[in-house]
Amino acid sequence: MHTVAIVALEGVVPFDLSIPTEVFGRVRLPGGGAGYQVRVCGVTPEVHAGAFRVKTHHGLGALARADTIVLPGIADVSAPFPPQLLKALRAAARRGTRIASICSGAFILAATGLLDGLRATTHWMGTEELARRHPLIQVDPNVLYVDNGQLLTSAGAAAGLDLCLHLVRRDHGSAVAADAARLAVMPLERDGGQSQFITHAPPSPEGASLEPLLRWMEDHLHRPLTLPALARKAAMSERTLSRRFREQTGTTPLQWLLRARVRRAQHLLETTGRSVEAVAQEVGFHSPTTFREHFQRFVTTSPLAYRRAFRGAARLSAGGRSAPPPGGAPRRRRAAS
C-alpha cells in the first residue's frame, strides 16, 4: 500500500489540504482495492485552518513511514517553519521519499534547501517572493506544476488537482488516473499553464519618466510602433530609449509592446465576440499566425482555448460586439505576493 502523508501546519489552506486527501483517498485500482493510504499529519494535534480548526491523527513520525509527502499551502508564508518539520523533510528526502508541494507549500519545501538548483513553481502571486528568498531555485511562474522526479511543486488552488492526478498516473497508469479525474470532475490534462490566469500590472511605477510614453503606447497598440517612432515620440535617441526601458521596465521596448498587445487581446477575447483574426488586427498583429505564436508564448495556450476558458466574464452587447473600455487595455493593480 502506497502511503501518502499530508502535512497540516498552523494556517493551512483548507482547499489545498482537501485536494490530496480527496484525490488519493478515492483512488481505486482495477481490482477494486484502494490505491493509497492517506494520513494527515501535524506538528501539533490541532491547527487553525481559516474558518475552522483541524485535528490531526498523526504526528511527524508518520513522515518516516510515508512513500509520498504532500505539503499543502499555508496562509502566512512569512511565519517561521517548525525546525522539526524541516529536519523530518530532509531526512525523508535522504531515504528517497517523494515530496510534493501545493501552492505556497513550495515555501516550506524551499526552506529545506532541497529545491536549490532545481526548477519549481508556486501560486503566481508568490513566484516573485519565492525567487527573491531562494535565488538558487529556478522559479517558473507559468506552469501548473513541475516534476523533478523525487521533488514536485504545483501552482495554486486547482493546480493542486493537476499535480495529484499526475502523481496517480505516475503510480498507477492513465486508466486509474482517468477514473480519479472523473471523480474530481476534472480533465486529466488541462490546456496551458497558470500564465493564462496571471494579472499583469503595467510594468512601470506611476511617475516614472517613461510613464507618458507607456500610456501612449497602450492607447496606440494597433499602430506599427517601431523603435525609431517611439524614440521620436519620447524625444530621445533610440539608444537612450532602450536603456531607459531596460532600467524602468526590465525589458526591451519590443518585448513590452508584445506583452501589452497580448494583454489587450486577452481582454478582447474575454469580453467580445470578435474573431481571433479581428482581435489580432485590433491589437497590432497584422498576421494571425504571428498573433497566435506570441499569444502561445506569453499565455501558454491558444487564443481559442483562452476564450473558451474565460469568455462570459462580461455581458456582450447585441451582435457580440461590446465596446472596449476607453483608453485601451484595462489598468490593473499589481497583485500582492
Residue 55 sits at φ, ψ, to 5 deg, of -95, 130
pLDDT of residue 327: 35
DSSP 216-241: HHHHTTTS---HHHHHHHHTS-HHHH
Q: Report the alpha-carbon distance of residue 163 to residue 190 in Å, rounded.
A: 11
What is the DSSP code string of 100-142? Answer: EE-TTHHHHHHHTTTTTTSEE---GGGHHHHHHH-TTSEE-SS
Contact status, residue 218 vs residue 260, Cβ threshold 8 Å = yes
pLDDT (tens, 9 = 90+) of the chain, 337 residues, equals 899 999 999 999 999 999 999 999 999 998 899 999 999 999 999 999 989 999 999 999 999 999 999 999 999 999 999 999 999 999 999 999 999 999 999 999 999 999 999 999 999 889 999 999 999 999 998 888 999 999 999 998 889 998 999 999 889 888 888 888 888 877 666 655 565 555 555 444 444 578 889 889 988 998 989 999 999 999 999 999 998 888 777 788 888 899 889 888 988 888 888 999 999 999 999 899 999 999 888 887 889 988 887 775 433 333 444 333 333 333 333 333 2
Opening angle at CA 154, ends 13 and 139, nearest 5: 115
Grid coordinates standing for 66?
510515508
Residue 203 has what pLDDT?
Answer: 44
Residue 77: closest CA among 151, 147, 9: 9
Determine phi and psi for 31, rounding to 5 degrees: -80, -5
Cell matching residue 313: 466574464
Q: Are 139 and 196 in contact (CB under 8 A)?
A: no
Which candidate in 66, 99, 103, 180 is catalytic?
103
- Domains of the chain (ranges, CATH numbers): 2-184 (3.40.50.880), 210-317 (1.10.10.60)
Residue 197: its pLDDT value, please? 56
CA angle 179/2/53 to nearest 5° reads: 85
In this predicted structure, what is the pLDDT of residue 120?
95
Q: Can you spell out the DSSP letters for 246-266?
A: HHHHSS-HHHHHHHHHHHHHH
* Cell of residue 245, nine digits: 526601458
Q: Are 89 and 99 in contact (CB under 8 A)?
A: yes
Clarify whether 103 is annotated catalytic: yes
pTM flag (> 0.85): no
CA distance 73 to 78: 12
